[in-house]
Amino acid sequence: MKIHEHQAKQLMAARGIPVPMGRVARSVDEAVAAVRPLTEESGNPVVVLKSQIHAGGRGKGTFKEHPDVRGVNVITDGIDGGPGAAEERVRELSQQMLGSTLVTIQTGDEGKQVNRLYVEQGIDIARELYLAVLLDRATSRNIVMASTEGGVEIEKVAEETPEKILRAQIDPAIGLAPFQANELAHGLGLDGDAGKNFKGFVKALADAAVEMDTDLIEINPLVVTTDGQVMALDGKMAFDDNALYRHPDIAEMRDETEEDAAELEAKNHGLNYISLEGTIGCLVNGAGLAMATMDTIKHVGGEPANFLDVGGGATADQVTTAFQIITKDPNVKGIFVNIFGGIMRCDVIATGIVEAVERVGLEVPLVVRLEGTNVELGKQIIEESDLEVTNADSLRDGAEKILELTGGGAE
């Protein structure tokens, strides 16, 4: 699960990790009202107005409705004009930003609607660094990754100047050891107050990652201020969904407006669904087989409309919901059901399909491939129903048949 920047900063602040002061605004008035308290408390006339969406690249992104407005804006009008001028500029910008669609390199062309803003104090930046805590699958441990190249995409740094990335493994029994924090500070060229502050920061961040079960914490940039403070200027956090049950406070931060409606509905029914842009709907058991089904459709010349794994123990009800979700997608021209029953029994799936079609109706061709536990019973249930179903002998055969029935896949 992803959360917004302002939520990530709230979680960091609660754990003693320094972040700039800021206020969330869901309306223009709230944004304007945030300016004076921030400038007064920080003593800095500059404020920053940041779009809150679950995607990166906001600073360089622009709005569909206002191509000259960026996703993040540094407002300097207060330096000469005082807080009133800053407020005016915040009002003008937030009117354009709120409710508009921000397009960044990570949102795709369709962009994402901005429903909340974060107004933050200005910071006098001396250096920009990069810091992250994430899982290193090769060692089965979390690692801290740091780099002197802040504000740049880390993938780019990894490709072009891999020697600029520092790593420290977190031993689950020990946590990040003081010497490791010291090595990182040294590697980043931080000494004096900045070095001391960084060591405290990175230790707290590593502890927070373990305590909160994050998949990823990425701070880009981490800034050193002109007076030697170290703070998270940006903050991205993603959490392990499997551990959310023990973090109800974090689970509450879920912003459902950031998620695909169909994917959310599927999740609420215990289904794994991801919508794609093709025309052939897929209903499969098992994540690996579901991916391989998409691959095979593509291999024979079609385009999958979705990834859908009904899981190992799906009920007839879940199959019906899966059908509803797939048929709701207007791009779907045909459905391919591919089941290799292990725990999942083919007769249960077959019953589910028959019930689903009776309840939902079916206006597109349907190809069904059943294999595994109770396969004969499953085929019999489908044959004895009045459904117009094309049977397939193998995954490849099924993919070819649904492609043929949907007009060869060529658009």
Partner 1 sequence: MSVLVGKDTRVIVQGLGKTGQFHTDKAIAYGTQMVGAVHPSRAGTEFSFEGETDHSGVPGRDDTYSVDLPVFATMKEAVAETGANASVVYVPPPFAADAIMEAVASGVDLVVAITEGIPVGDMIKAKRYLEGSGVRLVGPNCPGVITPGECKIGIMPGYIHQRGKIGVVSRSGTLTYEAVHQLTLLGLGQTTAIGIGGDPVNGTNFVDCLQMFEADDETEGVVMIGEIGGTAEEEAAEYVKSEMSKPVAGFIAGTTAPPGKRMGHAGAIVSGGKGTAEAKIEAMNAAGIVVAETPSDMGEAMVRALG
| Active site members | 130, 218
The residue from 313, 358, 383, 408 that contacts partner 1 (CB under 8 A) is 313
Asked if residue 372 binds partner 1 (CB under 8 A), the reply is yes
Output the smallest distance, CB 309 to partner 1, in A: 4
Asked if residue 268 binds partner 1 (CB under 8 A), the reply is no
The residue from 373, 385, 390, 391 that contacts partner 1 (CB under 8 A) is 373
Q: What is the secondary structure of 308-349 as a DSSP string?
A: EE--SS--HHHHHHHHHHHHHSTT--EEEEEEEESSS-HHHH
Asked if residue 168 binds partner 1 (CB under 8 A), the reply is no
Asked if residue 165 binds partner 1 (CB under 8 A), the reply is no
Site stretch for partner 1 (CB under 8 A), options 94-102, 121-129, 278-286, 356-364: 278-286
Place of tokens 């900045």: 194
Type of residue at 31:
A
E strand residue ranges, 122-200: 125-136, 141-147, 165-170
**Short-list 24, 8, 227, CA closest to 120:** 24
Q: In what order do the strands lie in the sheet with 62-63?
A: 62-63, 101-103, 112-113
366: region left, alpha or beta (phi > 0 left; psi from -120 to 50 alpha)? beta
User: Who contacts 341 (Cβ-Cβ below 8 Å, separation ≥6)?
Assistant: 285, 349, 370, 371, 372, 373, 374, 375, 378
Judged by CB, which is closer to partner 1: 189, or 313? 313
Asked if residue 264 binds partner 1 (CB under 8 A), the reply is no
| Token couple for 113 | 């609607």
> Is the sign of the CA dihedral 149, 152, 154, 158 positive or negative?
negative
Asked if residue 274 binds partner 1 (CB under 8 A), the reply is yes
Judged by CB, which is closer to partner 1: 93, or 253? 253
β-bridge pairing 62-63 and 22-25: unpaired
Asked if residue 410 binds partner 1 (CB under 8 A), the reply is no
Site stretch for partner 1 (CB under 8 A), options 23-31, 143-151, 165-173, 317-325: 165-173
Site stretch for partner 1 (CB under 8 A), options 187-195, 303-311, 320-328, 377-385: 303-311
Angle at 244 between CA 241 and CA 247, to 5 degrees: 155
Output the smallest distance, CB 154 to partner 1, in A: 7
% helix, strand, coil for the chain, step of 5: 40, 25, 35
Judged by CB, which is closer to partner 1: 197, or 296? 296
Type of residue at 411:
E
Place of tokens 């029914």: 269
Output the smallest distance, CB 340 to partner 1, in A: 5
Judged by CB, which is closer to partner 1: 159, or 227? 159
CA of 80: how far to CAs of 43, 44, 77, 93, 122, in Å?
14, 12, 6, 18, 15
Site stretch for partner 1 (CB under 8 A), options 121-129, 179-187, 225-233, 295-303: 295-303
The residue from 10, 101, 272, 324 that contacts partner 1 (CB under 8 A) is 272
Asked if residue 342 binds partner 1 (CB under 8 A), the reply is yes
Residues contributing to the site for partner 1 (CB under 8 A) = 106, 135, 137-138, 140-142, 154-155, 158, 171-173, 210, 213, 215, 240, 242-243, 245-246, 272, 274, 276, 284-292, 294-299, 304, 307, 309, 312-313, 340-343, 371-373, 394-397, 399
